[in-house]
Amino acid sequence: MNPSLPDSPPETFTVGSGAQARMIAVRQRQGEAPGLFWLGGFKSDMKGTKAEALDHWGAKHRRMVTRFDYSGHGESSGKFTDGTIGSWLEESLAVYRRFAKGPQIVVGSSMGGWMALLLARELKKHKDAAPMAGMVLIAPAPDFTEELMWKQFSPEVRREIEEKGAWARPSDYSEEPYIITRALIEDGRNHLVLGGLIETGCPVRILQGAQDADVPWGHAAELLTRFATDDVVFTLVKDGDHRLSRPEDIERLMTVIEELSA
């Protein structure tokens, strides 16, 4: 893959088999370690503002940067409504094991923050995988299917999900609603992390907006209490929203990346 052509077609490979097979699109900038490994959010893709900013930083500093789209997102195959936390985690692990070379700083945004924590747990089972040199969580949303969705839904919405298998949730980010499936909710319960202690084995930096309407800052603060021994720094951006994609937010993110890369 030519790192000087960011708009060239992505590399693709298959995760899963048979009816569960899906084609995952990956863009990787070759460079030195520690590399950056991007985990996007729910209904986001690898061409978003923060992901592109990481790639530009990698170009400037000659660092490896790996981005990909979950199935049902961006340039990867599959239907969004077929996706679950478990299937997206399977893809995250497959991409990491295939593309990550040398130590990696894993950067997870929103749902990607949950993915990063789950990935760290999975990597402990794969001693041959590239180690995590650090983790940056941007408006992390661990356990969001349960804590920020199911527990917040009205009895009517819960009933519709249980009886019809899905509910169309209005979105502030798209004219089209987000389809929340029963499979997404039920599978999410197999991957909860806030019920116990978390040990990633690497430094963790959390960036959270105080004005975040999607992931309240108290949710990130709750996550903070779950880290057992990791070096964790929590930064609350007083006027920050969920996206944290303004120029000053990107600058703050890059400062954290440079600190962990030193």
Classify residue 78 by its DSSP letter.
Answer: S
Amino acid present at 23: M
Amino acid present at 41: G
Q: How many CA atoms lie within 13 A of 34 on its CB side?
A: 21
3-class DSSP assignment, residue 54: helix
The kind and range of the H/E element at 63 are strand 63-68
Active site residues: 110, 212, 242
The kind and range of the H/E element at 204 are strand 204-209
Amino acid present at 145: T
List, as one string, the DSSP characters of 87-128. HHHHHHHHHHHHH--S-EEEEEETHHHHHHHHHHHHHTT-TT
Spatial separation of the C-alpha atoms in residues 39 and 69, rounded to whole Å: 8
